[in-house]
Amino acid sequence: MAKKLRLHDYFTTYGWLLPIFFLVSLVAWYWPITSVNAFKPEETINIFAECYKFKDEELVDNLYEAFGSYGVENVSLNPYSPDDENINSYYTAFGVEADILLLTSSTVENNLHDVPEILKDWIPFDDELIGELGIPVGAEYFEVGEQAYALKVFDAFDEAYPIDFSPFGSFEKEGLGEDVYMLLRSASPNFGSYSDEGKTENGLRTVRFLLERYDEDGK
């Protein structure tokens, strides 16, 4: 049976192993890369996605071309299959620091709970942010309490839904699929005043870029 992505299990069950794990990860994953290209977080657009197959091969180049003049030096895109048995390891290695995450509905439902320590990690989609991003009328959200924390960007059951990220990647396998949601990490430096310590607005620019690129009405 495939393992489901758990965003917070490490902190509740294996917290004491984190220093050792991250030290090993630093050597195995991070150091060889950053020793060659030491990009700062505010210079990078970092996207983590759950999809069965990535399809938009020109996306990374297009993002770099669009936002290089705004200080973007690197675009890191990490798509992984939601049923990959190593999905939790991939999230730990690449998703923890991602600015933008595209996650299946089951992952969102299993991880977004009405717990302050969990919700503080994500930027709420309030009216101001919805207007800032130009999110189309009719878009739906995953709410905790009365606050929206994730934007639905693919509806597996409604072809008329106004946002369709299916050109980004395949969210279906053997004819079965799930809705997909976008989450924005509050610790990212790339969401301006919406971030805990915002240094750029390149995250906002990227979300607007993606919404325009995958606008159902524009196809």
List phi, psi (to 5°) of 78.
-130, 90
User: 59-88: per-residue pLDDT in tens?
Assistant: 999 999 999 999 999 999 999 999 999 999
Stretch 149-161: mean pLDDT: 96
With contact defined as beta carbons under 8 Å apart, do 37 and 74 qualify? yes
Q: How far is CA 84 from CA 3, 47, 103, 111, in A?
A: 7, 18, 14, 18
- What pLDDT shows up at residue 38? 82
| Residue 191 neighbours by CB under 8 Å, 6+ apart | 99, 123, 184, 198, 201, 203, 204
Stretch 191-196: mean pLDDT: 95
Which has the higher per-residue pLDDT, 20 or 45? 45
| Residue 157 neighbours by CB under 8 Å, 6+ apart | 179
The domains of the chain, with CATH numbers, are 9-218 (3.40.190)
Residue with tokens 């200080």: 71
With contact defined as beta carbons under 8 Å apart, do 151 and 135 qualify? yes
- Quick one: DSSP state of residue 112? -
With contact defined as beta carbons under 8 Å apart, do 202 and 100 qualify? no
Sheet containing 100-104, strands listed edge to edge, beginning at the edge strand earlier in sequence:
74-80, 44-50, 100-104, 180-184, 147-154, 141-144
What CA–CA distance (Å, rounded) separates 171 from 26?
31
SS3 label, residue 115: coil
List phi, psi (to 5°) of 159.
-70, -15
Residue with tokens 């919406």: 194
In the predicted model, is pLDDT for residue 133 greater than 50? yes
Which has the higher per-residue pLDDT, 175 or 194? 194
With contact defined as beta carbons under 8 Å apart, do 95 and 78 qualify? yes
The structure tokens listed for 44 are 């990078």
**pTM for the complete prediction?**
0.83
